[in-house]
Amino acid sequence: MTVVDEVREVAEKARTAAAALAPLPRKTKDAALHAMADALEAATDAILAANSEDVAAGRESGTSEAMLDRLSLDATRVTAMADGLRHVATLPDPVGEVVRGSTLPNGLELRQVRVPLGVVGIVYEARPNVTADAAGLCVKSGNAVLLRGSGSAYRSNTVLVDVLAEAATAAGLPAHAIQLVPGTDHDSVQALMDARGLVDVLIPRGGAGLIEAVVNGSKVPVIETGVGNCTVYVDRHADLDKAVAIIVDAKTTRPSVCNAAETLLVHEAVAADFLPMAVKALQDKGVTLHADERAAGYDDAAVAVTDDDWAAEYLSLDLAVGVVDSLEEAVAHIRRWGSGHTEAIVTRDVDEARRFIRSLDSAAVMVNASTRFTDGGEFGFGAEIGISTQKLHARGPMGLPELTSTTYVVTGDGHVRG
């Protein structure tokens, strides 16, 4: 059997599972989520053993530290994955929610009701925690899920999916509701992208190359997630101490994730006071600044910024820094170089904050807060399937409602149109 045949086989099984999963009541799905969480914690040693092999192989092959951080699990991260599943169980079930309804002039009762998408395929790089997040959100929203992680995390994902699927089935979910897509090379991804009619939607989660490949090569509809070239703008009315704390958090707490800041823009009116403070705080954390001419004077170790730097999602302890003359210049810079993920303004001026928000076209805008808050867990979604930068029904962190479609239910009493 070829890998194409294997992928189609798991997709067909998922299709059958989706039909059985969709009508299940909330209590069954929530019980499965709790069982999955308990099983993860019970299997911590096996999960970490498999993950250590993936990390060792990645380090031997020259994988960057940023990607190794995304790939690595420890007991704390496994517990966080389990807690995420338990939190999803506490959230309202989106299936059956009435989005809108009315009684038409002819007496027909019209309701638009949320229903599962069906079979959801997730294609993602490293980050084995996505395996648990995606499985949990899909279960709660009534979808069967096909998980295609990167080859670099194949050992980790194999154990994770085995643990999650076994627990879910034992708790009452249909067999094959959670499956790992077979194969570690591009052929298996392509087979998934070609499975139109079996897979209802694909969601790529990873770097720009992965996302572009799936968007351009898939016959299956795609919900596009985006890279995170996020910007913090320090306005002329900023509280500078808060601004330093925000940029240090946004850049350094976990630089390998998509909501980390990659660019810092500073209003010229506060640059002389703010940049010496910020440079020292960032240098203390090991950050390398890629600075324009006006910012470079505050850091002897800075390298000259390039167009590639302004456009970069570094995913490392690097930060592009520039001085601007106005909020309008900051907005123009973000519109040119940003990825539409998350931007932040630090200001005490409410009108400036409102202008910043209205002038941008990003999935999330922070006011006096770190870009790191753009996250499904932080937003109260329990977890996220990804962060979408497109402009369709799913934008920003995608939680349970974004994993549903709708059905119109029309109830009459012998009505005929004539």
One domain for residues 127 and 95: yes
One domain for residues 44 and 183: yes
One domain for residues 7 and 153: yes
Strands (E), 39-156: 98-103, 109-116, 119-124, 144-148
Q: Are 246 and 232 in contact (CB under 8 A)?
A: yes
Q: Say if 378 falls within a structural domain.
A: no
For residue range 249-259, what is the model confidence (pLDDT) as tens digits? 999 999 988 99
Mean pLDDT of 266-295: 97
- What is the domain-level CATH number for residue 335? 3.40.309.10
Q: Say if 39 falls within a structural domain.
A: yes
**Widest CA span in the chain:** 81
φ, ψ for residue 126, nearest 5 deg = 45, -135
Q: Say if 393 falls within a structural domain.
A: no
One domain for residues 155 and 253: no
Q: Say if 416 falls within a structural domain.
A: no
Q: Say if 12 falls within a structural domain.
A: yes
Domain count, the chain: 2
One domain for residues 154 and 254: no
- What is the domain-level CATH number for residue 27? 3.40.605.10
The band of 333, judged by pLDDT with boundaries at 50, 70 and 90, is very high
One domain for residues 173 and 244: no
d(CA 353, CA 359): 10
**Beta strand pairing status for 119-124 and 261-267?**
unpaired
One domain for residues 46 and 95: yes
For residue range 83-135, what is the model confidence (pLDDT) as tens digits? 999 999 999 999 999 999 999 999 999 999 999 999 999 999 888 999 999 99
One domain for residues 340 and 215: no
* pTM, rounded to two decimals: 0.86
How distant is the alpha carbon of residue 61 from its chain centre?
26
Q: Is the pLDDT of residue 302 over 80?
A: yes
One domain for residues 277 and 130: no
- What's the domain range around 246? 230-373
| Lowest-pLDDT range of 108-112, 134-138, 361-365, 376-380 | 376-380
Provide the 3-class DSSP secondary structure of residue 397: strand
One domain for residues 152 and 282: no
Q: Say if 138 falls within a structural domain.
A: yes
One domain for residues 205 and 326: no
One domain for residues 198 and 215: yes
- Burial readout 67-87 (b: 16 or more C-beta within 10 A, e: otherwise): bbbbbbbeeebbebbbbbbbb
d(CA 17, CA 20): 5
Long-range contacts of 50-59 (CB under 8 A, 24+ apart): 50/155, 50/156, 50/158, 50/159, 51/128, 51/153, 51/155, 51/156, 53/155, 54/128, 54/152, 54/153, 54/154, 54/155, 54/156, 57/152, 58/152
